[in-house]
Structure 1
């Protein structure tokens, strides 16, 4: 019984090598290397057999060894930070897009004690060909102009940086318009920290409110960050004062957390307060939350297309792609309660 369980372990106890695959398939390691590099020199039958054996054994290419052996390793470094569920969905999309194109990803996380410089230092061991940044949202990335670089989510003025982002202005305009159409005037924004994306969405909210003549109703509650704990703390701040009838949050994490706190205090969503998130992530779908939609897998494919174009010196018509999001209506928004 113990042996059966061990045999079913999804991860090998040691790394499977080219030699292991060659021994099982009854061929030379050189032939296995040709197949794994998708290089010419193997018959269709040999290629099929070797790939089947590699899959059976759980063989994975050694990305570091390949990057040291080749000037074109097809490795993309990805910097990501603490930014809620949406970044996880972006990373999932990047993995799918990279696999389709035969590239590898190497991830490095940003934490409270690990800044951009330290995160990049760990990536240098892999000699990556290009870089995608999901964070930190800085105006001047350290490697701007040094390697093909795509930032996702914010604007960077440096001409050597490509950008794939959603229009915060368009998204916030739709959210505020929707609430105004439902009769709301007291509409509060929960701001996710002080980063460039948070400031962009805050400014877009302010602009949208002013376009409806609601200057006097502008109210911003700033969260320290972008996750659910920050949303809970922001909602408790709201409870200390006159409640708004509508809330537009920085992201779905904050919106869902705020909504939970409101319902815990006996308030009805959307009867007492309508709530809108941003991202349309899995959290929005789980909470049936009205949200401004970003499409992470589509954005990931666009980012990979630009990376490949830059590394192959293919012409790129415009370094900045700004996508216009849709507002996805669900059950957390409704007519404003009587004032």
Structure 2
């Protein structure tokens, strides 16, 4: 900082004010300070700065890269946090790194609150964590009072997918159920309720394992082994839909000419031109803004009670759904 101050011809204190974005520095001087810092290869030590203050201005974020919507939510969280003067510390889950390890590391960075994207931590541990600092869960239904939560209305989202398929003329609609998905119960209920409302029989295929492409491929194998394929399949997330579509194509079936497929999350893979997947959009920007606002509110008022915010999802219709095949039955090839 002294090197920057010397080059610009100002005091070290003025350089500090500029980097803290505080008043007392003209716009022209601030620009000269940043230009000199860039030329000298200097950037402020954020960790050291946080130690000198009572507030670290850090919000910790726990996420699993395997979740189809995690990258969109993290990206939106950065914008929402920055708009309120906060920085993010990310904690990623891997095959050798569980949630407890990641959360412990986030706390070590003096985070003032933590946002957990689709956490699997037991409820009793979340309740203990929420007594230490504000905790906001994104995507997981939790008992009232455990911690603040933001999630999409999975029941309504899946029901919208079923309604869309029924409007196209489908009557034999299957559902891929993966219990490891944090919101599996609400999404499953949305399917059952919608099918009952239309007077149609439910056709659920529960698959073991996680919610990646393999679960969708496993569901496709199960459906292909049956005498008659459904005309449409509703998947509980985009990764499962991708795996199911790939396996159907390998079996010689066409999407959507033979089988229509829907996903959930409207993730980046759904938006790829060669995938063109009809999917339920959770609106990561709205969810992230709500999560950051909840964190900021609880940090400023530690007596505030945990709240749940429900985001209404929307169905994005693309090329993976169409009218049902004209044949009365389609046998797997």
Whether 2:312 is the aligned partner of 1:324: answer: yes
Can you give the 5+ residue segments of structure 1 that lack an aligned partner in the other structure? 1-17
**In structure 2, C-alpha distance between the alignment counterparts of 1:324 and 1:150, rounded to whole Å:** 18
Of residues 247-256 and 186-195 in structure 1, the stretch that sits farther from structure 2 once superposed is: 186-195
Residues 78-157 of structure 1 correspond to what in structure 2 (within 5 A)? 78-138=61-121, 140=123, 141=126, 142-157=128-143
Of the three residues 232, 237, 241, the one matched with 2:217 is 232
Residue 309 of structure 1 is aligned with which of 288, 297, 313?
A: 297
**Residues 1:334 and 2:322 are matched in the alignment:** yes
Q: Of 286, 295, 299, which aligns to 1:298?
A: 286
1:61 to partner: Cα distance: 4.0
**Residue of 214, 234, 243 corresponding to 1:248:** 234
For residues 311 and 66 of structure 1, the distance between their equivalents in structure 2, rounded to whole angstroms, comes to 19
Task: Give the conservation status (yes or no) of the 8 Å contact 1:288–1:332.
Answer: yes
How large is the Cα RMSD of the aligned pairs? 2.5
CA distance, structure 2, for counterparts of residue 86 and residue 134 of structure 1: 9
User: SS of the counterpart of 1:269?
Assistant: coil
Deviation >6 Å, runs of 4+: 314-318
TM-score (norm 2): 0.87
Question: Structure 1 residues 120 and 182 mapped into 2: Cα distance closer, same or farther (>3 Å)?
Answer: same
The size of the alignment, in residue pairs, is 321
In the aligned structure 2, how far is the partner of 1:316 from the partner of 1:82? 31
Distance in 2 between residues matched to 1:114 and 1:252, nearest whole Å: 24
TM-score (norm 1): 0.85
Check the 8 A contact 2:216/2:240 in 1, yes or no: yes
Is the 2:207–2:218 Cα contact (8 Å) retained in structure 1?
no
Is the contact made by 1:81 and 1:134 (CA closer than 8 Å) also made in structure 2? yes
The CA deviation at 1:182 is 2.1
CA change 1:82–1:237 in 2 (3 A) is: farther
**Aligned match for 1:52, one of 18, 35, 45:** 35
For residues 129 and 228 of structure 1, do their structure 2 counterparts lie closer, same or farther at Cα, with a shift above 3 Å needed?
same
